[in-house]
Every structure is written in structure tokens, then in C-alpha cells.
Amino acid sequence: MASGPAPTDEVLLTANALTVLERRYLKKDTTGQPTETPTDMFRRVAHNIASAEEKYGASPARLREVEDAFYGIMTRLEFLPNSPTLMNAGRHFQQLSACFVLPVGDSMEEIFEAVKHTAIIHKSGGGTGFSFSRLRPKNDLVSSTTGISSGPVSFMKVFDAATEAIKQGGTRRGANMGILRVDHPDILEFIECKQDLTVLTNFNVSVALTEAFMGAVASDGAYELVNPRNGLPGKSLRARDVWERIVHAAWTTGEPGIVFLDRINAANPTPLVGDMEATNPCGEQPLLPYESCNLGSINLAKLVRGEPLSGTLDQEKLAAVVRLAVRFLDNVIEMNVFPLPQIEERTQANRKIGLGVMGFADLLIHLGVPYNSGRAETIAEETMCFIREEARKASAELAGERGVFPNWEESIYGPRGMNLPQRNATVTTIAPTGTISMIAAASSGVEPLFAVAYSKHVLGGESLAEVTPAFEALMQERGLLTPELLQQVVAHGTIQEIPEIPADLRHVFVTAHDITPEDHIRIQAAFQKCTDNAVSKTVNFPTEASAEEVAQVYRLAYELGCKGVTIYRDMSRQEQVLRTGAQQAAAPPAEPGPARAEPRPRPAAVHGTTIEMKTGCGKLYLTINSDDRGPFEVFGNMGKAGGCVASQTEAVARLISLAFRVGVKPEYIIKQLKGISCHMPAWEKGGGKILSCADAFGKAVERVVFPEANQLAMDFNGSSFGHLGACPECGGALHAESGCVTCHDCGYSQCE
């Protein structure tokens, strides 16, 4: 049963991994101090998941054997389950799934039933996906009230507000995926719904493209829109016009993404049970209504042998880990306490699991293969096909022990398909691994390296160089790693323009921005060939990329068999936020004249007030001093956060101080700052919402200068899911990868 040596109590974790575990996974007391070690956590999870074997008559000795095997693959960092399993297994909560898909019907009762179910799931820490394609279009007839419908986008805002309200309750951030068919009459409004980054802030959105639509794009033809209320066709649209709108919107902000709906349903293992309508928030898990995802990832970096640049993948060891991981994930379904009875029923009926990988970039480095090469594509396909083959064998073994999944007769496998009985309707998924890959000290999912080395922010504002271990080891082995050279690598992130680094290392150590968007898609497509569900992957574009380049990648993804695409053009969302902020903060031009304002000198003594403001980046302490003429200066301190956040705080404080000293009225300053949104808002004890650090400055000035003024009530102008910026927990930089957003400093993730 066990793969590798017998388990010990020693778990070899990096300092980064320990930080992530302490922040997110370990049990804590009422003061926030951990009450378990990483070893305790892995034993807790292994014991809980292994106890599912009791249902099938396992003896105490067998239970211990399975528990030790599960403990072994986790402590050796060969396999880790999705975050909710690590967090909740063996604890009171026991909700082990990361994501769910809920149906949204066309009646008011069905819509708000879905809203209620969404709230329950988000309270449990899960994310949700929806198709809004069943809803009648805007201005359509509502016979029960003789009124007219407000359309899908309007109701999406209701779901968004519900998610926001759950977040206000202090629980884990909720994430949603909203999908609309391309032939829905409201498709043009949907395509544009996330161009304003201050709305639908808790949603990712994707357009469901059909084969008919893709054919019409290719032939430059028209296609019909269909009213879901009665199934009748309406007006026709030129397909290429709609295609170009999708592309331009994605080029502008990264959304909407696209999913190829007919292709997803062609791979639906239980078509007689229902159609696939939506995916989870990151897009890698198409699910039937009321299904959940039960995911885990194998760390390929731990399954290699030989020396770096000339090693091999240990397939025997990989096969053993796959078999254990499949048993583990099937047991998760047994042990899961599902948030809704409908979800439990459907999940148990199909028993879908999603085994994926992390550390693929590390594997390629060990093999001496560049990520942007045909050989890497071959390795991706062969590795994933091997994993799926072994996973299906393991699922068949479980079917022999425990029986096939209940919907076997309604599946493509049953009498009409595969002769090998299966315990699980699907076995493979490539999911985001932002946080668990940090625990495993592995590269994220199937992504390339995001940097060879980067500056990592730590407490107290200090920055340390975080270097890819294989690169550091090889450079040290060759006697080339000097502080000066390392500083260059940190400054660039990439090593391609540093001639002092040997050519063979520059050939292999490529990063996300050293390769073309086409390279990203080709790797995604290679993994998709043997992935039952889908592949979570971000296609990175440089800032200067054109909309046509995005269109080319979309076409290539379709041609190569991908099930969906998520793109991110570097800086695109920051640029959009700056434009929006500039429009909101536009002030009348100053009257012309030769006079230039001069700041008044600082008097010997001023008096002031210090306010603590809770922001998404940490606690912000603001001191506002006044002289006999009114507000004079502001000082800001971001508590324990450092680096970029601290410097921006100081800059804003200096500029406000300068404005005060030249006589700008406080109300003008307040008007400019209040309402500016960033990637993550925060809530104060009294119920007020702080949209950003800039918003905190504005509200602090207002409270001191105009203490009687009414404060803004809570609103829903919050963060944009996937909007890059400063990490809300440590102030580090957020990165787009695997269809999600992750901080490489502290492990914060918006998806896990």
C-alpha cells in the first residue's frame, strides 16, 4: 500500500511553507496561535480520510496501513489534496470540497433559492459556478406580473451582493463563475459586464461558445439568438462582430474568458443524467448542477531521479502515488459533509474526482527541457496520459472493492462504452495549486516559472531574494552565484538578458514572460488530451500585445482541443483601474494665472489625532496634525506590511500634507480619495467598508476634520476577482496564474 519509505514524524518544509501553513491551515486557539504542528495536521487529515475504509470492512490494522500510506505521500510532499481538505478534515466543519455548480432557473422562486444555496456554500468556504443562460432576456415578458424581465446581468448583481454580504460576516472570501451562452439574447451586455471593474466584483465571467457559433465565425456568417423562455429564435448577429467584442473585452481586462460548451458536453461522462452548463470559478471543473469538485495534485518535482538537467521521471513511483491519490480522493467523497443534500446526492451518484499535477516546470528543468519546446509538449501529454491510465486502473480496483458509481448505467462507460468498471465518473483535472504548491515548494500547476528569482517581502519591511532552488544549486555548483549576479536576476526576474549566465541554463530556466502566448496554449492543450475535466491555466500576454494576438490564441485553443481559455495581459487591469479612477477623480482645471502656491512653513508645534483604519493590506495608522489654520499634515504607517505598500502609504501622506499646506480645502481632498477601490476591501467593526488604502486616507481625514459628517454606508463597490495589486495580507505582489491570483510571499490565494 505505502509508496516510498515508512512514514516518520519529520516533515521537511521550507520557511515559506511553514508561513503558509501557520497562516491558513493549522488549527488555532482563540488568540490565533497554532495548536497543531504541520506533522499534526498531516496526521489529522490522513487519519480522517483513511477512516472511510471502515465503511468497507477494513480491520484496525488495515486502517492504520492506509492512514500511514496517506500520511506518507503528504509528508513527502508527493501529493496534496485541495485546501478545504487540508483545512477541515478531522475538524468539526468537515466540508472538504473547494467548488460547486448550482442551477439557476427562470422563476423568481428558483433564482432566490439559488441565492440562498450560494450563501450556504460560501459560508462553508466553497466557491460556486452558475449558468445564467436559462434566464429570460432583459425586457422580455413576465406573464405572472404582466411586467418585464430585468435580464441575467441584473440578477448576477443579486448573487454578487449576496456574496459580498457573506464576506461581511467575516468568513472566507466567496468566488463565483458566471457563464452565459453566446446565443442568449443578452450576450452583448454580458460580454461588457466586467469592463467596469467596480461591478460584479465577486465574479469571474465566461462566454459559453457553441460549435455553431465557432462555425459562423470561421465562415463570417450570422447565427441566431434563442430566447430561453420559449426556445424560439430571435434576431441574428454577425458572429465575427460578437467574437471581436469578446476578444477586445478580454484584451482590456482579462474578462470574459471563454469555454467551448459543446466540447465540454461531448466529454460529459453522464449525458443521460444532465447537461454541463457551468464550471467552477477557475474554469477547470465543468460540473452538472449540484455537483462538487474533489481535487488533489501530484507533485511531479518529487518524482524524479538523477541529476538536474539530465534526470528522468520515475514512472513506477508515479504510478504508486497515483493509486494512493485516487483512493484518497474517493475516500474524501465518503468523509465529506456537504453543504446541501442535493449536492451530496449528486456527488455520491457520480463520484467525480480530479487528480492533477503541480511542479511541471520543475520536472522540465530536472529533465533539461525548455517549457517552450515541442519536447515539453510531448512530456506533458505522455505524463498526463500515464496518470489518467493509472488513475482509471485504480478506480477500477475500487469499483471491484466498493462497486461502480451509482450512475454507471447512465454513463458513457456503462454498457455502451468502456468495459472496465469505474468507481469514479472522472479521474483527472488540472486545478490551480497556488497555495498547496507553496507548501510543497513546487512550481504552480502546469504553469512555467513566474520568475527565476524575485524579491520577497517579509515582516518589518525587509526584502529577501527568493531563488528557484535548482537554479541556485546549479549556479553554486559552477561557482557562478555572486551577490551582484543574484541582484541582477532579482531585478529582471528572467535570466535571458544576462550573458554571464551559461547558455544551457538560460535555455532551460524560462519564465512565463519569456515564452509566447502560443507556447502557453500548446502546453495547456497537451495536458487537456488526457484530462477528463479541464485545465486551469493562465495565458500571459505582455502589456503591448494587441487584441488580434488574443484572437489568435483563442483560435489556436479551439483548434488544439482546449475546453476553455483564461488570458491576462500584463498591467491591463491596473490600467483600467487608473483610467476609472482618473475619470471619477477628475477635477476642474485651475484658473490660469502667474501666481504659484507655496506651502506654508511648519510651526513649532501642531496638535493631532491618530486613527487606526482596517484595510485589505493590513492595519493603517494615520496621524492628522493641524495648526491654527486647520489641517496641516498627515503621517501614515502600514503596521507590519512593508515594501511597496509602505512606500505608497508614505507617498499618499506626503501629497495630502502638501495639499493641506498650500491651502487646498479638505473636502476636495476627501472627494478625490473616498470611493477609490482596490483588489481587496476590508470591513471595520462598526460595519463600514474600506475600499482601499486611498479610501482609508479620505475617510480618516473626513472623520477628523468633519466629525459630524455622515459616513458612507456599506456598499458593494468592492474588489475585482483577479484584479492584480498588493496582497491584502502581506503587501506583496499578486500574480495571475492557473486562472487565479496568488501571492508568492505569503501564500494568499483568491481561489483556494
DSSP class per residue in 445-494: TTPPBS-SEEEEE-GGG-EEEEE-HHHHHHHHHTT---HHHHHHHHHHS-
Q: Does residue 227 sit in the same domain as residue 352?
A: no
> What number of residues does the chain have?
752
Q: Is 255 a catalytic residue?
A: no
Closest CA to 694 of 721, 729, 656, 663: 656
Q: Is residue 644 part of a domain?
A: yes
3-state secondary structure of 637: strand
Q: Does residue 731 sit in the same domain as residue 694?
A: yes
Q: Does residue 215 sit in the same domain as residue 228?
A: yes
Domain final residue, candidates 413, 439, 465: 439
Provide the Cα torsion 742, 744, 745, 751; round to 10°.
Answer: 20
Strand partners of residue 233: 226
Dihedral sign, CA of 138, 121, 83, 68?
negative
Give the burial class of 20: count Cβ atoms within 10 A of its Cβ; 0-12 exposed, 13-18 middle, 19 or more buried. Answer: buried
Q: Is residue 609 part of a domain?
A: yes
Q: Which three cell numbers stand for residue 151?
A: 435580464
CATH code for the domain in which residue 21 is found: 3.20.70.20
pLDDT of res. 5: 55
Q: Is residue 173 part of a domain?
A: yes
Domain final residue, candidates 279, 307, 325: 279
pLDDT of res. 585: 38
Q: Is 751 a catalytic residue?
A: no
pTM: 0.81
Q: Is residue 588 part of a domain?
A: no
Q: Does residue 82 sit in the same domain as residue 115?
A: no
Q: Is residue 690 part of a domain?
A: yes
Closest CA to 721 of 160, 159, 96: 160
Q: Is residue 482 part of a domain?
A: yes
Cell numbers 451586455 correspond to 189
DSSP structural state of residue 590: P
Within 8 A by CB and 6+ apart from 461, the residues are 641, 642, 643, 646
Cell numbers 544551457 correspond to 504
Q: Is residue 20 part of a domain?
A: yes
Number of separate domains in the chain: 4
pLDDT of res. 70: 98
Q: Residues 193, 282, 730, 743: which is the catalytic one?
A: 282
Q: Does residue 68 sit in the same domain as residue 189?
A: no
Q: Residues 280, 299, 424, 540: which is the catalytic one?
A: 280
Pairing of strands 630-637, 564-569: unpaired
Closest CA to 198 of 582, 576, 689: 576
Digit-coded pLDDT (tens) for 233-246: 999 999 999 999 99
Q: Is 637 a catalytic residue?
A: no
Cell numbers 490494522 correspond to 61
Within 8 A by CB and 6+ apart from 751, the residues are 98, 127, 175, 281, 282, 432, 434, 738, 739, 740, 741, 742
Q: Under a CB-based contact definition with an 8 Å cutoff, are residues 486 and 493 in contact? A: no
Q: Does residue 69 sit in the same domain as residue 194?
A: no
Q: Is residue 534 part of a domain?
A: no
3-state secondary structure of 506: helix
Question: What CA–CA distance (Å, rounded) separates 487 from 453?
Answer: 9
Closest CA to 511 of 487, 486, 494: 494
Please name the amino acid found at residue 591. E
Strand partners of residue 177: 129, 204
Dihedral sign, CA of 80, 84, 87, 90?
negative
User: What residues make up the domain containing 343?
Assistant: 15-96+293-439
Q: Does residue 513 sit in the same domain as residue 398?
A: no
Q: Residues 78, 284, 410, 752: which is the catalytic one?
A: 284
Digit-coded pLDDT (tens) for 344-353: 999 999 999 9
Q: Does residue 109 sit in the same domain as residue 82?
A: no
- State the alpha helices, DSSP H only, in 169-238: 187-191, 211-219
Q: Does residue 311 sit in the same domain as residue 275?
A: no
Q: Does residue 735 sit in the same domain as residue 648?
A: yes
End-to-end CA distance of the chain: 29
Residues of the chain where predicted confidence (pLDDT) is lower than 70? 1-10, 144-146, 168-173, 414-419, 457-463, 574-596, 639-643, 679, 683-688, 708-733, 751-752
Q: Which three cell numbers stand for residue 671?
A: 472627494
Domain final residue, candidates 439, 463, 494: 439
Closest CA to 294 of 417, 414, 395, 431: 431
